[in-house]
Amino acid sequence: MGSTFRFTIWRLLPVILVLTAAAYWFNEVQHGGPYVVRNLMPLAILLLLCGMALYRGGGHWGGSGMRLPLGIVGYTIPALGLALYLHYAYSINLNGMFTDAAFPERIFRFLPVYTVGAGGIGFVIGWIVGRNVQGLSK
């Protein structure tokens, strides 16, 4: 097994652990409802982006420049942040947000679309910032 592969797996391990914990918690909050799998889509995209960044960087986050790592940070903040916040709000009925809703669990029906969309915008912003950071370091 090559050292690049070992570095990639070793550095991807914390991401996998955090995403596994988030996936487990999403399932708990939704009580195994019909939208659990689709709410794991933003997490899967994040894992793929992280794997791609490490692969392109030869096992290092910034090995191929700062565009992809900063794009991933830009994706993670709105995508994972929004998903975690709305799951938390649903789990404790934050400020009575879901009290009068006829079908409060339907928030999870379209949540992946919003989180991936917001994450995509964040990724583009991070990518642009990474391009400028990379240009300054030359």
- For 65, phi then psi, to 5°, come to 105, 180
- Buried b / exposed e across 45-64, counting CB within 10 Å, b at 16+? bbbebbbebbeebebeeebb
Q: Do residues 12 and 51 touch, judged by C-beta distance below 8 A? A: yes
- Tell me the helix, strand and coil percentages in the chain, rounded to 5: 80, 0, 20
Q: 98, 90 in Cβ contact below 8 A?
A: yes
Beta carbons of 67 and 134 less than 8 angstroms apart: yes
Most trustworthy range by pLDDT among 18-27, 52-61, 83-92: 18-27
- In three-state secondary structure terms, 33 is coil
d(CA 103, CA 67): 41
Q: Give the whole-angstrom CA distance, residue 40 versus residue 27.
A: 9
Which residues form the domain of 56? 3-137
- Report how many domains make up the chain: 1
pLDDT tens-digit series, residues 62-117 = 877 889 999 999 999 999 999 999 999 999 887 887 787 788 888 899 999 999 99
Range 2-31 average pLDDT = 90
